[in-house]
């Protein structure tokens, strides 16, 4: 009988080795899965956040664009660069702006640098701009410039951001990025390249259609004839930062207010600037969206021998600063270009003053990187559609697109009293600026957030349900926007009798204007009024009656200006009926006020 000389404990150990290896492998697998799940949880917010689209220009093309990487790679890089990794408390945050793009640090914030990104060439090749606060002396700036071999080209004070903006020439053979980095190390202020924004007029041959309403599909698409019974944007100041506008054009007669030349030299009237102004205020052969508005003309774009009209950071900042000093409520920016830190800061300051900022989304195509100022979170970005609601093929796309407006083959004024057919997101942005002016005329104290909410909530959805990267919230609808505004005003007045009394006089003026549209021969028909003074209680009763009349008209299917006219007539008839009763019953003096209050409130 054979006996095994190997000890039992050795034989048992050998048999246990495969089992121990299997258990270890299972343990490692479970550990890896747990770690992967934790990593996925941390990355989920970034993965689910809207990606930055890639995007070239507005109604005109940006010069020397960098090569466009694949859309996904661009999105990931934008998000990585825009994410603020640490806060003061040391915790990591993923900061996405409200327009869906990564939020970039502002000048002065942690992580900010004015050095241009690698591959960015859209700036003057031998210039840079430098912004200092009021606490930095000119002597300190001059000393730093001498040490670094920079040649001063000019300086200007900026009210909006405070301090001064200097422009320097960089020495021959030296890279702008290196010069920016060197001056940044001096820690005297914010420095960056002098970025370039370009305009390109997308105009077909001069129109063969007669200049007039029939050739303007935007008039019917935006229902401007009905809208203008309600509001014309009267005396609302709209700054147009563009090329030189033809102030002598008959369609713009009397519509231009003050003018500012940011370029510093005389320029000939240009088609682009003239067309944008016409889209807003034309009132001759053509009809603009807000023919009663007042244009603050900023000539910031100057043509050169190789390119169409261009502007730099310096020109645009000077234009914005001047426009706000002159009381602009809206700033139309029908141009596009690279990300610009100083422009970002200026737009933030303007937004804080409740200035409505509107810009062309760009015409660089759906795979282009985001273009600015439209891609700034404080700006309403506008894309272009045609008469059949089809998107302009060249239009930029991305989560920052907010609204769409007519912008394909649009008939507008041109330089030298001419006319043009133009396409691009430039003219679409001008149309939305006009709609904003209509709203501000009706409610001058409206803030940006409320105006934006009305524009977005009343837009006609054109793409996938809700906001999308092609059309934003959809086609801007001034008719529905003004109707929603009237609902808001009525609701506010019904909740605040004191506010209703304070605005009664203003409402009476607008009532006379609207009813005069219905009167034969245009004669005004003022609402009947008592000769006795009225107290707050009567005003409150009038507002209560106005709200009841509005609900009654709405139940009959009336909307927009028709509903407003119905409300005016309804309230006027009620007041007249109550006044007749008071006269018939010989009610006078203070008793008449009580009588009218009771009668109107019943």
Cβ(567)–Cβ(549) under 8 Å? yes
List, in sequence order, every residue forming a beta bridge with 413; answer none if it has no partner: 419
Model confidence at 443: pLDDT above 80: yes
Phi, psi of 111 (to 5 degrees): 90, -5
Say how far apart CA 188 and CA 107 lie, in whole Å: 12
63 to 54, 58, 309, 310: CA distances (angstroms): 17, 12, 11, 9
| 517-563 confidence digits (pLDDT tens) | 333 333 333 333 333 444 455 566 777 788 788 888 878 877 777 78
The terminus-to-terminus CA distance of the chain in angstroms comes to: 120
Give CA angle at 363 (289, 66), nearest 5°: 145
Say how far apart CA 448 and CA 462 lie, in whole Å: 24
Q: Helical H runs in 154-243? A: 176-184, 217-221, 224-227
For the chain, the domains span 95-194, 213-477, 496-601
Say how far apart CA 221 and CA 477 lie, in whole Å: 9
Say how far apart CA 475 and CA 148 lie, in whole Å: 51
- Top-tier CATH class for 213-477: alpha beta
Compute the average pLDDT of residues 276-304: 95
pLDDT-based confidence at residue 70 (cuts at 50, 70, 90) = very low
Q: What angle, rounded to 10 degrees, do the helices at 341-352 and 313-325 form?
A: 10
Q: H-helix or E-strand containing 298?
A: strand 294-299
Model confidence at 464: pLDDT above 60: yes
Q: What is the dihedral of CA 493, 494, 496, 498, to 10 degrees?
A: 70
Residue 411's Cβ-count burial label (10 Å; 0-12, 13-18, 19+) is buried
List, in sequence order, every residue forming a beta bridge with 358; answer none if it has no partner: 332, 380
| 325-374 confidence digits (pLDDT tens) | 999 999 999 999 999 999 999 999 999 999 999 999 999 999 999 999 99
Show the tokens assigned to 108. 């002065």
Residue 92's nearest CA partner among 46, 26, 124 is 46
| 75-90 confidence digits (pLDDT tens) | 333 333 333 333 333 3
Say how far apart CA 479 and CA 212 lie, in whole Å: 22
Q: Helical H runs in 448-535? A: 448-458, 478-495, 497-502, 504-516
Compute the average pLDDT of residues 158-184: 94
Most confident of 71-80, 479-488, 557-566: 479-488
Q: Which residues are catalytic?
A: 242, 272, 426
Say how far apart CA 104 and CA 100 lie, in whole Å: 12
Cβ(313)–Cβ(168) under 8 Å? no
Q: Is 104 helix (H, G, I), strand (E, B) or coil?
A: coil
Residue 402's nearest CA partner among 371, 385, 380 is 380
Residue, of 595 and 91, whose pLDDT is higher: 595
Phi, psi of 154 (to 5 degrees): 155, 170
Q: Is 405 helix (H, G, I), strand (E, B) or coil?
A: strand
pLDDT-based confidence at residue 468 (cuts at 50, 70, 90) = very high
Say how far apart CA 593 and CA 571 lie, in whole Å: 16
pLDDT-based confidence at residue 202 (cuts at 50, 70, 90) = low
Q: What is the DSSP string of 231-260?
A: ---TT-EEEEEES---TT-GGGTTTEEEEE
Q: What is the pLDDT of residue 553?
A: 82
Q: H-helix or E-strand containing 72?
A: helix 71-82
Show the tokens assigned to 137. 């002396």
Cβ(281)–Cβ(290) under 8 Å? yes
Domain 95-194 has CATH 3.60.10.10: no
Q: What is the pLDDT of residue 78?
A: 34
Q: What is the pLDDT of residue 538?
A: 56
Residue, of 187 and 63, whose pLDDT is higher: 187
Write the secondary structure of 334-383 as one string of H (helix), E (strand) and C (coil).
Answer: CCEECCCHHHHHHHHHHHHCCCEEEEECCCCCCCCCCCECCCCCCCEEEE
Residue 247's Cβ-count burial label (10 Å; 0-12, 13-18, 19+) is middle
Count of helices and strands (H, E) across the chain? 17, 14
What percent of the chain has a predicted confidence (pLDDT) above 90? 58
Widest distance between CA atoms in the chain = 140
Compute the average pLDDT of residues 386-404: 96
Q: What is the pLDDT of residue 14?
A: 54
Q: What is the pLDDT of residue 305?
A: 47
């Amino acid at each position: 009988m054979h006996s095994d000389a190997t000890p039992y404990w050795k034989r048992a150990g050998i048999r246990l080795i495969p089992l121990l290896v299997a258990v270890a492998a299972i343990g490692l697998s479970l550990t890896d899965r747990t770690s992967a799940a934790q990593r996925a949880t941390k990355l989920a917010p970034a993965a689910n956040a809207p990606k930055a689209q890639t995007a070239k220009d507005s109604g005109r093309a940006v010069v020397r664009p960098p090569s466009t990487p694949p859309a996904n790679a661009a999105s990931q890089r934008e998000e990585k660069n825009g994410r603020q990794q640490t806060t003061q408390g040391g915790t990591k945050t993923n900061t996405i702006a409200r327009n869906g793009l990564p939020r970039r640090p502002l000048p002065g914030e942690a992580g900010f640098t004015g050095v241009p990104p690698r591959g960015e060439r859209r700036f003057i090749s031998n210039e840079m701009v430098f912004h200092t606060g009021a606490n930095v002396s000119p002597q300190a700036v001059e000393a730093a410039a001498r040490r670094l071999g920079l040649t001063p080209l000019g300086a200007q004070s900026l009210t909006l951001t405070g301090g001064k903006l200097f422009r320097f020439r960089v020495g021959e053979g030296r890279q702008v990025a290196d010069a920016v980095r060197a001056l940044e190390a001096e820690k005297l202020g914010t420095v960056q390249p002098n970025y370039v924004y370009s305009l390109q007029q997308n105009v077909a041959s001069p129109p063969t259609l007669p200049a007039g309403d029939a050739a303007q599909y935007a008039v019917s698409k935006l229902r401007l004839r009905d809208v203008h019974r309600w509001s014309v944007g009267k005396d609302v100041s709209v700054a147009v930062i563009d090329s030189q506008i033809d102030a002598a054009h008959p369609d713009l007669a009397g519509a231009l207010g003050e003018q500012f030349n940011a370029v510093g030299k005389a320029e000939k009237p240009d088609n682009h600037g003239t067309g944008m102004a016409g889209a807003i205020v034309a009132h001759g052969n053509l009809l603009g969206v807000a023919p009663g508005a007042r244009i603050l003309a900023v000539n910031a774009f100057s043509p050169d021998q190789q390119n169409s009209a261009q502007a730099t950071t310096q020109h645009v900042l000077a234009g914005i600063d001047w426009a706000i000093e002159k009381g602009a409520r809206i700033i139309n920016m029908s141009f596009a270009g690279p990300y610009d830190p100083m422009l970002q800061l200026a737009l933030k300051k303007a937004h804080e003053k409740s200035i409505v900022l509107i810009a062309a989304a760009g015409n660089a195509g759906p795979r282009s990187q985001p273009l600015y100022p439209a891609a700034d979170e404080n700006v309403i970005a506008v894309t272009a559609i045609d008469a059949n609601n089809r998107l302009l093929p060249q239009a930029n796309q991305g989560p920052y697109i907010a609204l769409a407006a007519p912008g394909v083959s649009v008939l507008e004024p041109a330089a030298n009293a001419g006319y043009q057919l133009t396409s691009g997101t430039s003219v679409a942005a001008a149309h939305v600026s006009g709609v904003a002016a209509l709203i501000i005329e009706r409610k001058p104290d409206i803030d940006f957030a409320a105006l934006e909410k009305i524009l977005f909530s009343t837009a006609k959805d054109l793409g996938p349900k809700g906001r999308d990267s092609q059309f934003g919230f959809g086609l801007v609808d001034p008719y529905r926007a003004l109707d929603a505004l009237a609902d808001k005003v009525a609701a506010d007045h019904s909740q605040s009798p004191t506010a209703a009394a304070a605005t009664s006089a203003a409402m009476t003026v607008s009532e006379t204007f609207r009813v005069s549209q219905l009167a034969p021969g245009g004669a005004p028909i003022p609402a009947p009024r008592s000769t006795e003074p009225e107290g707050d209680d009567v005003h409150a009763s009038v507002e209560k009656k106005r709200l009841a009349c509005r609900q009654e008209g709405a139940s009959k299917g009336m909307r927009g200006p028709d509903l407003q006219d119905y409300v005016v007539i309804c309230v006027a008839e009620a007041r007249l009926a109550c006044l007749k009763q008071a006269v018939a019953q010989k009610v006078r003096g203070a008793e008449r006020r009580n009588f009218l209050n009771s009668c109107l409130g019943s």
